[in-house]
C-alpha cells in the first residue's frame, strides 16, 4: 500500500527489479534442467499409478487450482490509461509479453516436475524441489527461493494496480462513492489503495493467512469477472457489430464459455474451502452498487435547477450567538456578526441565576448594543435548551434562515484541548443536519 501511494512510476521501478530477477532465475533453472536430460522412465510408473487413483473430482480440483495461475492479466486491461501513447498498442504488447512469459515458465516447470518425478509435499514446494535437484543447495538454489518469495509478495500489487482504477471507473458511472475517482497528491487513486490495504489486512486476519482458503476466494471472483466481461463483449458485437465483428464474436464467445466453465468448476470444487463467501458476497455487493447509484440519481434530481423554478429566497435572516460568558472570543464573534448586518442576537442559557446576572451586567458594557436573550434551562442541559430554542424559531417562521455563530477558543497545543469543554463541537454536530440552519465558526486562537 505504501509503495503504491508513492506513485505509479516510483512503485513500478521498485517492483521491476524483483520481477526481472524472478524471470531470469526461473528461465535459467528451466534451461539448466532441460539440458541435464533426466531419465523419464524412472517416474512413468508412479505417475500412471497416481493418475489411475485420481477420480474426476480430484482432476477438477487440480484444474481449479491451476486456473489461478492465469489470473493477473486482467490488470493490464483495467489499467490501459496508465500506459504511454499509443496506450492501446502498448497495453496489447505488454499482455502478449506477459502471456508468453507465463506460458514459458508454467510449461517449463511442469515438464521439469514430470522429468524429475517431483510431487507436492507439505514441507517443501514443487519449485524448491526442482531447484534443489537442478542446482543442489548452493547459491542459485537460494536465489530461486528468494526470487519466489519476492514475486509472491509483489503478486499482491496486481490488485493494488487494478482495483483503484476499476473503482474509479465504477465511481465515474455512479456505482461507487465519487471519492474513489479522485487522484491523490502523487496522481494515484489514494482512496482505493488505502481501502484495499485495509480490506487485505482484514482478510488475512479473518482467514489467518491460510492460502487454501484465500485462493478460492480470489479465483472465483476473478473468473466470474472474466466471464461477465467476455459475455459483455459478445453482446456488444451482436448489437453494434462493426468491421470484423464475427471473428471477434467467436473469440469472445469461446473466452466466455471457457471462463464460465472454470468458474463453475472452481465454485463447486472449492465451495467449502472459501468460495461460498464470494457466492454470498456478490449479491450483497450488487445491492450496494445499486443503492449507491440510486442515491446519486436521487441527489441529482433533487438539486437540479429547472428553467421555470429556482430555490425560494429567504425573506428573513437571523444570526444567533450562543454565549456562556463575556470575553474576547465572544466580543470578536459579535463584531463579525455586526459586520454582516441583519438581525443579530446573543443567546444565554440560564443555568445559574447569579452567574446569569453577572453576564447580563458585563453584556451591557461589552455587547455593542446587540440584544441578549436569556433562555431558561431545560432539563439542566445547555445543548438541549439551545436546540429547542432554535427549533422553535424555525417552526414559527418557515421562511427564516438562522445563522448560528459559534465563538470557539482554539488552544495553542493539541493536548490543551483535553482541558477545555467540547460544547462548541457538540453544538455544531447537533445543528449540522438541520434545514435552514447555517453554522459559522469564529475561532479565537490562543498563543500559549
Whether cis (ω within 30° of 0) applies to the bond prior to 254 is: no
Q: DSSP for 161-228, please give it.
A: HHHHHHHHHHHHTTSS-GGGG---TTSS-HHHHHHHHHHHHHHHHHTTT-HHHHHHHHHHHHHHHHHH
Under DSSP, the state recorded for 447 is: -
Paired with 403 in beta bridges are: 319, 438
Superfamily of domain 316-445: HUPs (3.40.50.620)
Domain regions of the chain by residue span? 2-294, 316-445
Residue with cell 510431487: 119
Residue with cell 459586520: 339
- The pLDDT value recorded for residue 42 is 43
Strand pairing category for 400-410 and 371-376: unpaired
pTM value is: 0.65
Q: DSSP for 81-130, please give it.
A: GGSPSSHHHHHHHHHHHHHHHHHHHHHHHHHHHHHHT----SSS-HHHHH
31, three cell numbers: 534451461
* E strand intervals along 272-342: 316-323
Collect all residues with Cβ–Cβ distance below 8 Å to 139 and sequence separation of at least 6. none
Taking the C-alpha atoms of residue 322 and residue 119, their distance in angstroms, rounded to an integer, is 77
Taking the C-alpha atoms of residue 329 and residue 445, their distance in angstroms, rounded to an integer, is 9
Closest of 416, 414, 440, 444 to residue 428, by C-alpha: 440
- The pLDDT value recorded for residue 280 is 81
Tens digit of pLDDT per residue, the chain (448 long)? Answer: 887 787 666 666 777 888 899 999 999 999 888 887 654 434 444 455 555 555 676 776 677 667 666 666 667 776 787 788 888 888 889 888 888 888 898 889 888 888 888 887 878 888 899 998 888 888 999 999 999 988 888 777 778 877 888 888 899 999 999 888 887 766 678 888 899 999 889 988 888 887 777 777 777 777 888 889 899 999 999 998 888 899 999 999 998 998 888 888 877 777 776 667 777 888 898 999 999 999 999 988 888 877 777 777 777 889 999 998 899 999 999 999 999 888 899 999 998 888 999 999 999 999 888 999 999 988 888 888 999 999 999 988 888 899 999 998 888 888 887 787 778 888 888 888 888 899 999 999 888 7
Amino acid at each position: 500500500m505504501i509503495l503504491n501511494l508513492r506513485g505509479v512510476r516510483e512503485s513500478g521501478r521498485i517492483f521491476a527489479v524483483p520481477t526481472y530477477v524472478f524471470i531470469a532465475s526461473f528461465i535459467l533453472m528451466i534451461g539448466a534442467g532441460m539440458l541435464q536430460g533426466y531419465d523419464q522412465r524412472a517416474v512413468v510408473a508412479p505417475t500412471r499409478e497416481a493418475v489411475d487413483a485420481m477420480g474426476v473430482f480430484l482432476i477438477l480440483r487440480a484444474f481449479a487450482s491451476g486456473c489461478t495461475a492465469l489470473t493477473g492479466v486482467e490488470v493490464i486491461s483495467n489499467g490501459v490509461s496508465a500506459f504511454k501513447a499509443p496506450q492501446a498498442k502498448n497495453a496489447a504488447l505488454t499482455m502478449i509479453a506477459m502471456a508468453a512469459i507465463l506460458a514459458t515458465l508454467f510449461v517449463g516447470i511442469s515438464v521439469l516436475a514430470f522429468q524429475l518425478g517431483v510431487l507436492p509435499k507439505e514441507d517443501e514446494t514443487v519449485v524448491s524441489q526442482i531447484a534443489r535437484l537442478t542446482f543442489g543447495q548452493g547459491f542459485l538454489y537460494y536465489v530461486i527461493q528468494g526470487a519466489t518469495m519476492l514475486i509472491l509478495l509483489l503478486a499482491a500489487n496486481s490488485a493494488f494496480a487494478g482495483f483503484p482504477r476499476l473503482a474509479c471507473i465504477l465511481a465515474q458511472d455512479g456505482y461507487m462513492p465519487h471519492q474513489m475517482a479522485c487522484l491523490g497528491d502523487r496522481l494515484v487513486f489514494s482512496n482505493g489503495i488505502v481501502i484495499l490495504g485495509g480490506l487485505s489486512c482484514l482478510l488475512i486476519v479473518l482467514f489467518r493467512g491460510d492460502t487454501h482458503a484465500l485462493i478460492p476466494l480470489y479465483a472465483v471472483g476473478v473468473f466470474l469477472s472474466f466471464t461477465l466481461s467476455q459475455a459483455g463483449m459478445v453482446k456488444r458485437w451482436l448489437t453494434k457489430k462493426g468491421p470484423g465483428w464475427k471473428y471477434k464474436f467467436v473469440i469472445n464467445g469461446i473466452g466466455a464459455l471457457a471462463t464460465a466453465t472454470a468458474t463453475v468448476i472452481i465454485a463447486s470444487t472449492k465451495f467449502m474451502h472459501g468460495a461460498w463467501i464470494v457466492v454470498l458476497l456478490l449479491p450483497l455487493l450488487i445491492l450496494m452498487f445499486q443503492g449507491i447509484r440510486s442515491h446519486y440519481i436521487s441527489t441529482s434530481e433533487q438539486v437540479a435547477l429547472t428553467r421555470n423554478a429556482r430555490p425560494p429566497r429567504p425573506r428573513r435572516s437571523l444570526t444567533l450567538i450562543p454565549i456562556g460568558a463575556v470575553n474576547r472570543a465572544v466580543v470578536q464573534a459579535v463584531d463579525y456578526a455586526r459586520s454582516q448586518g441583519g438581525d443579530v442576537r446573543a443567546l444565554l442559557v440560564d443555568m445559574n441565576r447569579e452567574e446569569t446576572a453577572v453576564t447580563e451586567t458585563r453584556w451591557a458594557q461589552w455587547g455593542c448594543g446587540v440584544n441578549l436573550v436569556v433562555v431558561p434551562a431545560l432539563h439542566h442541559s445547555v445543548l438541549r435548551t439551545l436546540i429547542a430554542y432554535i427549533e422553535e424559531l424555525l417552526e414559527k417562521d418557515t421562511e427564516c434562515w438562522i445563522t448560528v455563530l459559534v465563538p470557539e477558543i482554539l488552544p495553542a497545543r493539541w493536548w490543551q484541548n483535553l482541558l477545555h469543554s467540547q460544547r462548541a463541537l457538540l453544538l455544531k454536530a447537533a445543528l449540522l443536519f438541520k434545514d435552514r440552519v447555517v453554522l459559522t465558526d469564529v475561532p479565537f486562537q490562543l498563543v500559549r
